[in-house]
């Protein structure tokens, strides 16, 4: 007689635990690597420079950065935040972006597991974090991120649910861009000056292509609220200067979209239950 022994639930958990830990570690490592690449994009794309050539170099002395000085976070700490050759201070932005990408990759794995949705969301997060920082630093939202981001969002829905979902994704992107253009036009009619850039329209179109209409409206609401709170606080703090300033609205939209990726569904469920 053959005796078949199935693994118990505790045994299955013991087997899976190392796999989960390894997947989490690789998520962090991939996040660090992509964070390092994102720093290159942030530094070069607003200046219309190639992200491929030349190799990473110090902006002051223009010495190429050695491979052992280009390890995410670790090299910055070992060099104490300074160039090995000329001693120029290296911005805190570099390790912060690398750490943020590692944390967001890990969160994506923990929320979405090893799925196509997880891959799609880390791609979107990569684009959003880059756009948030670029807009904050330069007031620019490069087409090199927003336009491919729209195409990738449409392709993501095609892979998940077929061509009908891809068509709807395109339609949501067009509607989102049209909404921002309408707001932009109304502001110009009232104030006779531009209030929002075309980059904001492309950014919201990209978000809508990935996240759909309801989550995109939530992103817009949270982005507007965040920008308003920051703007009012800044005006109150710097009241004596009397100077006007431009807010990087794309940074607020991008930050809101990253938040909605992880917490958007519970918020929308809470909101819609009032109408049931």
Q: What are phi and psi of 82, to 5 degrees?
A: -135, 150
Per the CB < 8 A criterion, the answer to whether 206 and 149 are in contact is yes
Per the CB < 8 A criterion, the answer to whether 63 and 57 are in contact is yes
Is-above-0.85 flag for pTM? yes
Report residue 84 as tokens. Answer: 């090995």
Q: Domain limits of the chain?
A: 18-114, 119-276
pLDDT tens by residue, 96-135: 999 999 999 999 999 999 899 999 999 999 999 999 999 9
Q: What are phi and psi of 83, to 5 degrees?
A: -65, 135
pLDDT tens by residue, 13-46: 565 677 788 889 999 999 999 999 999 999 999 9
The one-digit pLDDT tens for each residue of the chain (276 residues) are 444 444 454 555 565 677 788 889 999 999 999 999 999 999 999 988 888 887 777 777 777 888 787 889 998 898 888 888 787 888 899 999 999 999 999 999 999 998 999 999 999 999 999 999 999 999 999 999 999 999 999 999 999 999 999 999 999 999 999 999 998 888 888 877 776 789 999 999 999 999 999 999 999 999 999 999 998 888 887 765 556 677 899 999 999 999 999 999 999 999 888 887
Report residue 75 as tokens. Answer: 């090299």
Residue with tokens 């670790």: 74
């Amino acid at each position: 007689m053959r005796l078949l022994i199935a693994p118990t639930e505790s045994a299955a958990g013991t087997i899976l635990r190392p796999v989960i830990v390894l997947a989490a570690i690789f998520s962090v490592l991939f996040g660090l690597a992509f964070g390092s690449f994102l720093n290159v994009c942030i530094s070069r794309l607003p200046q219309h420079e190639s992200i491929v050539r030349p190799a990473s170099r110090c902006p002051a002395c223009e010495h190429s950065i050695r491979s052992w000085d280009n390890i995410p976070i670790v090299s910055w700490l070992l060099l104490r935040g300074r160039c090995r050759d000329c001693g120029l201070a290296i911005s805190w932005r570099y390790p912060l972006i690398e750490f943020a990408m590692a944390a967001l990759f890990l969160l994506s794995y923990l929320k979405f597991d090893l799925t196509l949705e997880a891959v799609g969301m880390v791609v979107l997060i990569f684009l959003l974090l880059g756009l948030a920082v670029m807009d904050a630093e330069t007031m620019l939202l490069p087409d090199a991120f927003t336009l491919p981001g729209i195409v990738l969002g449409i392709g993501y829905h095609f892979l998940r649910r077929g061509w009908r979902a891809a068509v709807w994704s395109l339609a949501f992107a067009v509607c989102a861009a049209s909404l921002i253009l309408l707001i932009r036009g109304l502001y110009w009619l009232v104030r006779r000056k531009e209030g929002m850039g075309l980059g904001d329209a492309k950014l919201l179109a990209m978000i809508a292509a990935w996240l759909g209409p309801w989550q995109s409206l939530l992103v817009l609401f949270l982005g507007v609220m965040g920008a308003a709170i920051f703007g009012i606080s800044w005006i109150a703090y710097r009241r004596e200067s009397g100077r006007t300033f431009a807010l990087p609205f794309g940074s607020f939209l991008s930050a809101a979209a990253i938040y909605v990726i992880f917490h958007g569904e519970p918020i929308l469920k809470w909101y819609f239950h009032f109408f049931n």
